[in-house]
Amino acid sequence: MQGHQPRKRFGQNFLADAHYVRRIVDAIAPHPGERLVEIGPGLAALTRPLIERAGRLDAVEIDRDLAGRLASEFGTDQLTLHVADALEFDFAALGAGLRVIGNLPYYISSPLLFHLAQYDALITDVHVMLQKEVVERMTALPGTPEYGRLTVMLQAVFRITRLFTVPAGAFRPVPKVDSSVVRLVPLREAKATISDVALFGRVVAAAFGQRRKTMRNALSTICDEAGLERAGIDPGVRGETLSVAEFVRLANDLAERAA
């Protein structure tokens, strides 16, 4: 690993298989002039070919040792380095048309995706590598075991496509699970209007807080049966059976009546 000791606190597993590096870069298909932003470039396995194709990119790296290595390898005309925690980074500071790329540590994948969703108006697309099970949840359909809060919150903002699996053996050190590469594209005009984003988040979180509860019981502190029925939701069903559109309709109805 080129003299770097992977840090468990940063969840570092570095992509080391050239075949999968090529597949990921081909899937991104970067072009000169595009605003590429790599989260956690690490040992630069993706950074090098991305710069070769696009000319330059921005990178957000929390590990100061790795940031120092990157700064010594690439000129400032090729790499603009932001030594920061991606969970707290203001992506709006980079402008619009962002193409976000990253091999995301498993332990921050969900909160980081929620963070990126706040910038959907500035993002062209997102290509990230995540734990395979997380991608299965992101792309799940209603009524399946994988369908949950992560699914609804992300599918309300992005069109999500699972591209391919990357086996554990492609990384150093070798993780205990396989990964998948996934593409997220903002819905733009197709995105449903959510009147109160915070309320929508509360409704979704409550619906999946205890999966076996019916909507009547799961949302008892947010609305009553009449509120569910007004929005066309059967109080006796579980949250996992509702579509993203139904969650949006329910939250918007509650927001309208609270106004």
Angle at 191 between CA 187 and CA 196, to 5 degrees: 135
Task: Please count the residues of the chain.
Answer: 259
Where are the domains positioned within the chain?
8-190, 197-258
Three-state helix/strand/coil letters over 154-173: HHCCEEEEEEEEECHHHEEC
Do domains 8-190 and 197-258 share one topology? The answer is no
What pLDDT is stored for residue 67 in this prediction? 92
Q: What is the pLDDT of residue 12?
A: 56
In degrees and rounded to multiples of 5, residue 226 shows phi and psi of -60, -40
pLDDT score for 2: 53
Give φ, ψ of 79 to 5 degrees: -135, 125
Q: Are 208 and 240 in contact (CB under 8 A)?
A: yes
Q: Can you name the CATH fold of 197-258? A: Helicase, Ruva Protein; domain 3 (1.10.8)
Residue bearing tokens 């790599």: 38
What's the predicted TM-score (pTM) here? 0.93
Between CA 87 and CA 81 the distance in angstroms is 16
Cβ neighbours around 15 below 10 Å, total: 19
Q: For residue 14, what pLDDT is reported?
A: 78
* 211 contact partners, CB below 8 Å, separation of at least 6: 148, 238, 239, 240
Structural domain 8-190, CATH architecture: 3-Layer(aba) Sandwich (3.40)
Q: Please report the pLDDT score of residue 4 as a whole number.
A: 46
Mean pLDDT by 10 residues, the chain (259 residues): 46 81 97 97 93 97 91 96 96 98 88 96 97 96 97 98 96 88 96 96 96 95 95 97 98 90
